[in-house]
Structure 1
Amino acid sequence: MGPIEIRRVYDEAEDGEGAVFLVDRMWPRGVRKADLKIDGWLRDVAPSSDLRQWFGHRAERFAEFAERYRRELDERPEAERPLLEAAEKGPVTLLYSARDTEHNQAVVLRDHLRDRLGG
Structure 2
Amino acid sequence: MTMLRLKRAYDPPLEDDGFRILVDGIWPRGMKREQIQIDLWLKDVAPSDELRRWFGHDPGRWGAFKERYHGDLASKGDLIALISEKISSGDVTLVFGAKDEKFNNAVALKEYLLRED
Q: TM-score, normalised by structure 2?
A: 0.94
3-state SS in 2 of match to 1:98: coil
2:80 match: 80
2:108 match: 108
Paired amino acid for 2:113: L
- Which 4+ runs in 1 deviate beyond 3 A? none
Paired amino acid for 2:23: V
Shift of 1:15: 3.0
In 1: Cα distance, 2:76 partner to 2:116 partner: 14
Shift of 1:45: 0.5
- Residue identity over aligned pairs, in percent, reads 38
Q: For each residue in 1:10-41, what CA deviation from the matched residue of structure 2 results, as whole angstroms up to 9, or x when unmatched? A: 01222311110000001010001232211100
In 1, are the aligned partners of 2:9 and 2:97 still within 8 Å (CA)? Answer: yes
2:94 match: 94
In 1, are the aligned partners of 2:12 and 2:36 still within 8 Å (CA)? Answer: no
Q: For each residue in 1:46-104, what CA deviation from the matched residue of structure 2 results, as whole angstroms up to 9, or x when unmatched? A: 01111101101111101110110000000121122221110010110000011110000
Shift of 1:110: 0.7
Do structure 1's residue 47 and structure 2's residue 47 form an aligned pair? yes
* Ranges in structure 2 where 5+ consecutive residues have no aligned partner: none
In 1: Cα distance, 2:79 partner to 2:43 partner: 9
In 1, are the aligned partners of 2:25 and 2:47 still within 8 Å (CA)? Answer: yes
3-state SS in 1 of match to 2:93: strand
Give the alignment of 1:12-31 within 5 angstroms: 12-31=12-31
1:10 match: 10
* Ranges in structure 1 where 5+ consecutive residues have no aligned partner: none
In 1: Cα distance, 2:46 partner to 2:16 partner: 24
